[in-house]
Structure 1
Amino acid sequence: MIKGTLHQEDITLINIYAPNTGAPKFVKQLLIELKEDINNNTIIVGDLNTPLTPMDRTSRQNINKEIIELNEKLDQMDLIDIYRTLHPKTAECTFFSSVHRTFSKTNHMLGSKGSLNKFKKIEITSRIFSDNNETRNHLQEKGWKNTNM
């Protein structure tokens, strides 16, 4: 968690990396624990390892009870996925499961509904999926020398 000031306004940034298993439950519990630190000037970013909407996953993936409960918690806390709100019809993927052969959007940027007007532009720029060979190749193209993954 980082707290600071941006353009003379207090801001809190929270970066979350959820585990591969039990991610929706983990994120929901973390939001409950951080509730006192979350306000209109909080931005939560990270790999939640959870597609939050049908647009964020392939048709073969099911939405389960834990994802529904996580979405209910987000709604109770007045939090939205800022990218999804600004791009409701864009199917942008941030994760590829080679085991299941599915693409999904598991990286999210959450913020208060009241802060939505502060965002002029938001986009997903990285096209690197969870494939170490692809990541290693990308890093080597960018000039990284030590890419032992």
Structure 2
Amino acid sequence: MDNTVKVISLNVNGLNVPEKRRQIVNVMRKGKGDIILLQETHFRNIPQPMHKLGTFSQWYYSNNPEQKTKGVAIAIRKNLNFQLENTLSDPSGRYLLIKGQLYHTPCTIGCVYFPNKNQIPFLNKLKEKITDFANGLCIIGGDLNFPVDPQNDTSKGSSVLPYSKLKIASKSLQSLRLIDTWRFHNPTTKQYTHYSNTQNSYARIDYVFISQHHLHWLKEASIDNILWSDHAAVQIKLNIPNKTPSTWQWRLNESLLEDLDCRKEIIDTIKDYKQNTQTDG
């Protein structure tokens, strides 16, 4: 029985160009994600073009209405049993939190895009929002725009943020009881999600966190290659205990009734069945 739910998080660096939208559609379909977290969508107007993607029936956005920058989105695959209860959106398009029932399990899903400056004050404000809003299983993914552990998460082993601020960030994540899923599964590996031309270095600044209480549901965590976006996608798989496979139900192909030979065969079969049951009686 497959009770897994796959989450994919990616900074797409803008989706207003049709070619970029085709590329992310391929990522979503080939990756077979159930929950998609997108950062830097750069959408401003409503409705957004991603609603045309039928594979994902639920779309939630947080946009920057002033200009085509920032923006995050959460997409839910149409066959995923998620019942929305509430949303919390940043007016400038930096974060989006939704909560509801995932296979009858209380669940909060968040997508975040941190600024490239003043990340720690932003995290502290976000921590308050998550604390007040979140319920049950918590899945938070996105682009933090800084490495939580520079020694292990950058090619240079350093960060522009001083150690004192990184320590505050670490304590904030600990207070939320959020666990870095990729690092949990890869305690000593070095792999990066972004290359910075200005700093001439690689760093792991894209994360998917889950609540510590549900860490035993984590099955896999991986980082893809950096391809058409300047970021790599982060993927995780969760085992959801309440998820059951969809039941198959037989249904008559009604087009067969239009076939005269098929109809005759069905009628003859019914007549034979009636005669046999009468004889047996």
| TM-score, with structure 2 as normaliser | 0.43
What is the CA–CA distance in structure 2 between the aligned matches of 1:103 and 1:28, rounded to whole Å?
26
What per-residue deviation string (whole Å, max 9, x for no partner) do you get for residues 68-101 of structure 1? 1010111122222111111112212111110110
Contact 2:155–2:203 under 8 Å retained in 1: yes
Other-structure match for 1:104: 203
Aligned-partner SS, 1:127: coil
Is 2:68 the partner of 1:2? no
Is 2:124 the partner of 1:25? no
- What letter corresponds to residue 113 of structure 2 in structure 1? Y
- What letter corresponds to residue 155 of structure 2 in structure 1? T
Is 2:233 the partner of 1:130? no
Greater shift, 40-49 or 121-130, is seen at 121-130
Aligned partner (choices 146, 152, 157) of residue 55 of structure 1: 152
Deviation at 1:60? 4.7
Aligned-partner SS, 2:108: strand
Deviation at 1:130? 2.9
Deviation at 1:42? 0.9
Other-structure match for 1:42: 138
What is the CA–CA distance in structure 1 between the aligned matches of 2:213 and 2:142, rounded to whole Å?
20
Of all paired residues, the percent bearing the same amino acid is 24
| TM-score, with structure 1 as normaliser | 0.78
Deviation at 1:4? 2.9
C-alpha change, 1:60 and 1:87, in structure 2 (3 Å) is closer
Return the structure number with greater strand share. 2
Deviation at 1:45? 0.3
Aligned-partner SS, 2:208: strand
Aligned partner (choices 205, 214, 234) of residue 115 of structure 1: 214
What is the CA–CA distance in structure 1 between the aligned matches of 2:211 and 2:130, rounded to whole Å?
14
- List alignment gaps of at least 5 residues for structure 2: 1-96, 232-281
Greater shift, 82-91 or 61-70, is seen at 61-70
Deviation at 1:39? 4.3
What is the CA–CA distance in structure 1 between the aligned matches of 2:108 and 2:200, rounded to whole Å?
36
Other-structure match for 2:179: 80
Contact 2:106–2:135 under 8 Å retained in 1: no
Aligned-partner SS, 1:58: coil
What is the CA–CA distance in structure 2 between the aligned matches of 1:40 and 1:57, rounded to whole Å?
32
Deviation at 1:7? 2.7
Contact 2:107–2:135 under 8 Å retained in 1: no
What is the CA–CA distance in structure 2 between the aligned matches of 1:100 and 1:4, rounded to whole Å?
41
Aligned-partner SS, 1:121: strand
Contact 2:147–2:154 under 8 Å retained in 1: yes
Aligned-partner SS, 2:226: coil
What CA RMSD, in Å, does the superposition of the two structures yield over aligned residues?
Answer: 1.9
Contact 1:25–1:66 under 8 Å retained in 2: no
Deviation at 1:32? 2.0
- What letter corresponds to residue 58 of structure 1 in structure 2? S
Structure scoring higher RCO (CA < 8 A, sep ≥ 6) equals 1
Contact 1:24–1:50 under 8 Å retained in 2: no
Deviation at 1:123? 1.0
Greater shift, 14-23 or 52-61, is seen at 52-61
What is the CA–CA distance in structure 1 between the aligned matches of 2:132 and 2:111, rounded to whole Å?
16
